[in-house]
A and B are shown apart, each in its own frame.
Chain A
Amino acid sequence: MTDRSERLTSVGIDVGTTTTHTVVSRLRVETPPGGVASPEIADREIAFRGPVRETPLLDPETIDVEAVAAHVATDLEAAGVDPAAVDTGAVIVTGETARRENAEPLVHRIAADAGRFVAATAGAELEAVLAGRGSGAATRAAERGETVANVDVGGGTTNAAIFEGRSGDGRGRGGELVGETRCLDVGGRLVRFDGHGRVESISPPAWLLADALELPLEVGDEPDDELLAALAAAMADRVVDLLEGPPFDALTRELAIGELPSEPVSLDGVVFSGGVGRLVGSPPSEPFAYGDLGGPLAAALRDHERVRAWSVREPHEDLRATVVGAGTESTTLSGRTISIEPDLFPIRNVPVADAGDLAGREERALREPLESAVARLRELHDLADLDAVALAIADVGPLEYDRLGVLADALTGAVDPLPPSLPVVVVTRQNCAKALGQLLRRRTDRPLAVLDELRPRGGDYLDVGAPIAGHRSVPVVVKTLAF
């Protein structure tokens, strides 16, 4: 090992409907010699896999925040990781809609305990993508140029991410593009049983399905296998419909989390991950081994005639796909050339406003999108509470000295309404951070950073770590929610 590589400690924590796990991974950052290529994450090694634990609940709808925090603390200690030494990572909280309600205090608490630089995030879309990166579906898409769906079937939700392995803008690190995500309130824990096979609890999505099928299902019942197989088959139908639509049937639309796509996708392969997903390949011999519908749902998926027609691929990670994805794949690096105030980073929860494509724009037409991006930031956020704000630029136009000077003038004017002490992070897709930084520095004294070769979207949030690779790059986590 030479001086050219360094390591980041990344923590992934997945608090699901059924289970909670922690992984610690070491990301090896390598800076190719010669000063041309950008530093990159060369290797992602999982240093510690915490035990799979039942997610502790106060009642069927409320996660026990204190108990989860205690589990995480125990795991980090077992891993020999000092929370203060954690460089990056993500906390993911998912599950049924009802349980997501106390997600915010939960991620806030865990992020505070697990290290100042763990991105706290929740949301089925991000979980879907991280699971697909963790399971190997994304790599498969990139390596083979295929369109691969990862279907993470867990206790409360089914999260599908579709990866398209083709070249072009917006590629992930391996060359894959996240086509879209599709998420449903369908999972193994929608019905739970006690030790005697009696129904202990039924979640609202299971009510919905049972009602639609006119299946008599009540808490305290001892339903027969036929009824449960019918319910599981109905769930499997929704999962199949989720991948094969549109059109989607009314039940699928009712159970969907977030938007459903308007265009169907032709898939080359499907990977199942997650606690239920991993059983699709080999359902347990005792269907109710887990005290829920996980076994029957996995069997229903395996036996579904449409699933039989799919090209189903083995995952690299099954049960832990999401947490492995959260631990190893949530961090990207900025371009090699950055321009920053020495002590500005790390900063967290920086809201991004997108100024879009500025190529070909001059004068007013150049200032206007920048000014409206700043106006959006002022409108949507309480600036006094923020570490910084970020302006994203998709295309600055030709990378010429005069052009960047004109842009720097427009930017300086546009950020003027912001408080003078509020740091501004300018994020460009093109490699021009140092040049733009130099030109901005000449025009303004406000705290400022320019990061390049990144493309966050408006509405995203950035967590930016302290510079690495000899001050040449910063680790960045792009999040869809801030806490």
Chain B
Amino acid sequence: MASDSGADADGPEPTADRDAESDVETDRAIADEEALRRIADRTPTRLGVGRAGPRPATDSLLAFRADHAVARDAVRSRVGDELLADLDLVALRTKVDDADQYLARPDLGRELDAASRERLLEKCDLEPAVQLVVSDGLSSTAVEANVPELLPILRDGLAERGISVGTPVFVEFGRVDVMDAIGEELGADCCVILIGERPGLGSAESLSAYLVYGPERGTATSRKSVVSNVHDGGLPPVEAGAELVDLIAETLAAEASGIDLREDDRAFRES
């Protein structure tokens, strides 16, 4: 790595001693290169990317900005109509008008607009055991990447167990709790939402599935179960679909979700 004691460094010019010290650091970095690579290989975190003087190296700065752009795209782009048609989802939207308002007003993302509420009641089966909801949330990319693999095995698995599934819907500009409103309107026993998670700089494709038993508006988050980190580098979407089948069956049998369902989740509340 090039040593940079450049003109724009703060404070006095480096002394001879400082130069010696920085040489020592460089030697150490080279001696530990293998160990550093091993550590860096185990995590997608930006470790050991080095620096050029006080600044990031050009390639790591560019990679960072590219990843940031991907994350912004995930928030800003919309799920394509083609996907909704392929998966046979009824298209709905919340009271949110655009992406800026979505970010500023989480409350509006929890409620359907009037036209969508009418459409919901007109197009969807009432009182299903399970209502499936797909929503863009903070990452349309996550929906596009994961739902086509997740939804078929989920629907097949539920059908195989004889669990009645309502008419699946897609909600644009949705927050997790929009499932409470949808579940309540339809009178579903259990509501599941597959929603794009806040993108990070490691992955913009992470999806979560939240699940609530006895949905009604204002249900506490603690009463919701979650299967998170669904993407190719985490829980593979097809496996997440099969896992959700088990979780839904467990929820319906226990008539409970969230901390009411699992002992191990309850420990959280106590600790």
- A residues neighboring B (CB under 8 Å): 2-4, 31, 33-36, 144-145, 165-167, 175, 337, 339, 399-401, 404, 430-435, 437-439, 441-442, 470
B264/A36 in contact, CB under 8 A: no
Q: How far is the CA of A2 from the CA of B262 in the complex (A)?
A: 13
Q: How far is the CA of A266 from the CA of B265 in the complex (A)?
A: 48
Show 29 A/B contacts (Cβ-Cβ < 8 Å), sorted by A. A2-B264, A3-B263, A31-B264, A33-B267, A36-B234, A36-B235, A144-B35, A145-B34, A166-B38, A175-B42, A337-B239, A339-B242, A399-B239, A401-B152, A401-B241, A432-B236, A432-B238, A433-B239, A434-B239, A434-B246, A435-B236, A435-B241, A435-B242, A437-B242, A438-B153, A438-B156, A438-B245, A439-B153, A441-B160
Distance in Å: Cβ of A443 to nearest Cβ of chain B: 11
B228/A34 in contact, CB under 8 A: yes
A400/B35 in contact, CB under 8 A: no
Q: How far is the CA of A439 from the CA of B245 in the complex (A)?
A: 12
Distance in Å: Cβ of B267 to nearest Cβ of chain A: 4
B41/A400 in contact, CB under 8 A: no
Residues of A contacting B227 in the complex (Cβ-Cβ under 8 angstroms): 35
- B residues neighboring A (CB under 8 Å): 34-35, 38, 41-42, 149, 152-153, 156-157, 160, 226-229, 232, 234-239, 241-243, 245-246, 262-268, 270-271
* CB < 8 Å neighbour of A4 from B35, B156, B267: B267
Residues of B contacting A430 in the complex (Cβ-Cβ under 8 angstroms): 236
B34/A337 in contact, CB under 8 A: no
Residues of B contacting A36 in the complex (Cβ-Cβ under 8 angstroms): 228-229, 234-235
Residues of B contacting A441 in the complex (Cβ-Cβ under 8 angstroms): 160
Q: How far is the CA of A437 from the CA of B153 in the complex (A)?
A: 11
B38/A404 in contact, CB under 8 A: no
Q: How far is the CA of A464 from the CA of B240 in the complex (A)?
A: 24
A399/B236 in contact, CB under 8 A: yes
Main secondary structure of the interface of A (DSSP, over half): loop
Q: How far is the CA of A107 from the CA of B226 in the complex (A)?
A: 46
Residues of B contacting A3 in the complex (Cβ-Cβ under 8 angstroms): 263-264, 266-267
Closest to B148 in A: A401
* CB < 8 Å neighbour of B270 from A2, A145, A431: A2
* CB < 8 Å neighbour of B243 from A144, A167, A337, A470: A337
Main secondary structure of the interface of B (DSSP, over half): helix
Closest to A403 in B: B238
B38/A431 in contact, CB under 8 A: no
Q: How far is the CA of A36 from the CA of B152 in the complex (A)?
A: 21
Q: A33-B265, A400-B149, A401-B153 are in contact. Are A435 and B238 (CB under 8 A)?
A: yes
Q: A145-B34, A401-B153, A432-B236 are in contact. Are A2 and B229 (CB under 8 A)?
A: no
B238/A442 in contact, CB under 8 A: no
Q: How far is the CA of A476 from the CA of B35 in the complex (A)?
A: 31
Residues of A contacting B238 in the complex (Cβ-Cβ under 8 angstroms): 399-401, 404, 432, 435
Closest to B32 in A: A145
Distance in Å: Cβ of A316 to nearest Cβ of chain B: 21
Residues of A contacting B41 in the complex (Cβ-Cβ under 8 angstroms): 167
Residues of B contacting A399 in the complex (Cβ-Cβ under 8 angstroms): 149, 232, 236-239
Closest to A1 in B: B267
The list of the 9 closest CB pairs from A to B, nearest first, reads A434-B242, A2-B267, A435-B242, A399-B236, A167-B41, A36-B229, A435-B238, A3-B267, A438-B242
> Which of A3, A33, A432 has its CB near the most chain B CB atoms (within 10 A)?
A3
14 additional A-B pairs beyond A4-B267, A31-B264, A432-B238, beta carbons within 8 Å, are: A2-B264, A2-B270, A2-B271, A33-B264, A144-B35, A145-B34, A167-B41, A337-B239, A339-B242, A401-B241, A431-B239, A438-B160, A441-B160, A442-B160
Distance in Å: Cβ of B20 to nearest Cβ of chain A: 28
Q: How far is the CA of A33 from the CA of B259 in the complex (A)?
A: 12
Closest to A442 in B: B160
Q: How far is the CA of A441 from the CA of B262 in the complex (A)?
A: 26
Residues of A contacting B264 in the complex (Cβ-Cβ under 8 angstroms): 2-4, 31, 33, 470
Residues of A contacting B242 in the complex (Cβ-Cβ under 8 angstroms): 337, 339, 434-435, 437-438
> Which of A34, A404, A431, A434 has its CB near the most chain B CB atoms (within 10 A)?
A434
Residues of B contacting A438 in the complex (Cβ-Cβ under 8 angstroms): 153, 156-157, 160, 242, 245
Q: A4-B267, A337-B242 are in contact. Are A431 and B226 (CB under 8 A)?
A: no
Q: How far is the CA of A49 from the CA of B153 in the complex (A)?
A: 50
Q: How far is the CA of A441 from the CA of B161 in the complex (A)?
A: 11
Residues of A contacting B42 in the complex (Cβ-Cβ under 8 angstroms): 167, 175
* CB < 8 Å neighbour of A35 from B160, B228, B270: B228
> Which of B228, B234, B236, B242 has its CB near the most chain A CB atoms (within 10 A)?
B242
Residues of B contacting A404 in the complex (Cβ-Cβ under 8 angstroms): 238
Q: How far is the CA of A438 from the CA of B226 in the complex (A)?
A: 21
Q: How far is the CA of A145 from the CA of B31 in the complex (A)?
A: 13
Residues of A contacting B245 in the complex (Cβ-Cβ under 8 angstroms): 434, 438
Distance in Å: Cβ of A411 to nearest Cβ of chain B: 16
Distance in Å: Cβ of B87 to nearest Cβ of chain A: 12
A434/B243 in contact, CB under 8 A: yes
Q: How far is the CA of A431 from the CA of B236 in the complex (A)?
A: 7
Residues of B contacting A439 in the complex (Cβ-Cβ under 8 angstroms): 153
Closest to A171 in B: B42
> Which of B34, B38, B226, B238 has its CB near the most chain A CB atoms (within 10 A)?
B238
B235/A431 in contact, CB under 8 A: yes
Residues of B contacting A165 in the complex (Cβ-Cβ under 8 angstroms): 38
Q: How far is the CA of A2 from the CA of B266 in the complex (A)?
A: 9
Distance in Å: Cβ of B260 to nearest Cβ of chain A: 14
Closest to A434 in B: B242
Q: A404-B238, A432-B238 are in contact. Are A35 and B271 (CB under 8 A)?
A: no
Q: How far is the CA of A175 from the CA of B41 in the complex (A)?
A: 12
Closest to A143 in B: B35
Q: How far is the CA of A183 from the CA of B188 in the complex (A)?
A: 65
Q: How far is the CA of A433 from the CA of B149 in the complex (A)?
A: 15
A401/B149 in contact, CB under 8 A: yes
Closest to A441 in B: B160
Q: How far is the CA of A337 from the CA of B240 in the complex (A)?
A: 9
Q: How far is the CA of A12 from the CA of B242 in the complex (A)?
A: 37
A435/B234 in contact, CB under 8 A: no
